[in-house]
Amino acid sequence: MKKIMTLVVLALFIVSIFPVLASEDTDVKAEKQDRMKGLSEFGKEVSSIVKANVSVKMDRELAMKKHVELRTKFLETKEKFMLSKEAYVKAKVDFRAKHKEVKEACNNNSSEECNKRKDNFLKEDAKSYLLKTINTMERVLEKRKAKIEEVMAQTDNKASLETKLEAVNAKLEILAKYKVEVENATTKEEVKELAKKLRAEWKDVKEHLEESRGTVMSHKFSFATQRAESLEKKLEKTLDRLEQKGYDVSSVEPQFESFRMHIANAKNFVEQARVKFEAEGNTSAIVKEGHKLLVEAHKELKLAHEDLKKIVFSIKIKAGAEAESELEDLSENEAETEVEVSANASAS
């Protein structure tokens, strides 16, 4: 009966693990969508990275090189995670099949042969599965670590990111210890206890991923609002120059004020979200509130982008070819982001 209960514990462990990977899959998609929805709506990410690094006196080439290195590292780590996930999914299917086979053959059966099969299952199959589980958890955390490092290179406000990075490293150290314990386990009781510990560790990892994703995305949305504010200043100067040349721009002033309002709203939502994510002792409910605020920030950035497109279109209609030089920078921004905005709509 104890062995059957042990098998049940391991079965529950399987069920608890898979949603974390599903969450990480969602995280991968969300990262991709949020990256498109946030920063790319107001220009290329590289431009913001260069500007963020001006304050620490990195020249353009050095900033670009650093960005490329970190971006490459993140993509390589992401690829390792995907391969690890595929191996884990296969191991999960095999493990569940073997578990079902042993359970059906030996349920309420205490024969010597069944006891031997149960022992072998726990000492060999379960150990192998737990090691693959640990490997997958490590890949998940390494992917998040690479993402945090990438964002850290873009900002001077590193404190919260450094805290998240330290937490990831601490988790990786814990998993390294668990890996040794699993490899050295010789009894079914040890395997059972390690399965319980790893199940609890998965829960902690999932909570950490959700929280650290919020911190990362709040920084990326902060870059987006900075880019938007820069664009706002360009637009204001453009309108002033056109007015000085004799063009009537009064009709687009309400649209421009709307543009400014949406940018200010987005910035406010991002700042509120960051407070949520960086709050000491924050709960999962607070983290969720932070994510909701980022959703609102994204909506405001989209509305600002729509205002920008309308303003550029109106000015082109009024000023014609003579205004092309004034609108060149704004038109480039509008053209660069139009495809991404369409992709966002289809991906939502």
One-letter amino acid at 237 equals K
Domains of the chain, residue spans: 2-216, 222-347
pLDDT of 250 strictly over 60: yes
Residue 338 pLDDT class (50, 70, 90 cuts):
very low
pLDDT at 206: 86
Query: In this prediction, what percent of the chain has a pLDDT beyond 70?
Result: 61
Q: What global pTM score does this model have?
A: 0.61
Rounded Cα distance, 118 and 106, in Å: 8
Inter-CA distances, 260 with 86, 300, 334, Å: 46, 10, 16
The mean-pLDDT minimum among 102-111, 158-167, 337-346 falls in 337-346
pLDDT at 257: 94
Residue 316 pLDDT class (50, 70, 90 cuts):
confident
Cβ atoms within 10 A of the Cβ of 5, count?
10
Q: Which residue has the tokens 């462990």?
A: 13
- What pLDDT digit, counting tens, does each position of 92-126 carry? 666 676 666 667 667 777 777 777 777 777 777 88
CA angle (78 as vertex; 213, 134 as ends), nearest 5:
85
Q: How many CA atoms lie within 13 A of 87 on its CB side?
A: 17
Inter-CA distances, 284 with 203, 216, 277, 278, Å: 12, 16, 10, 12
The mean-pLDDT minimum among 72-76, 321-325, 340-344 falls in 340-344
Residue range 275-292: mean pLDDT, rounded: 84
pLDDT at 191: 87
Rounded Cα distance, 250 and 241, in Å: 13
CA angle (27 as vertex; 285, 304 as ends), nearest 5:
80
Q: How many CA atoms lie within 13 A of 7 on its CB side?
A: 24
What is the average pLDDT score of the chain? 73
Residue range 53-74: mean pLDDT, rounded: 55
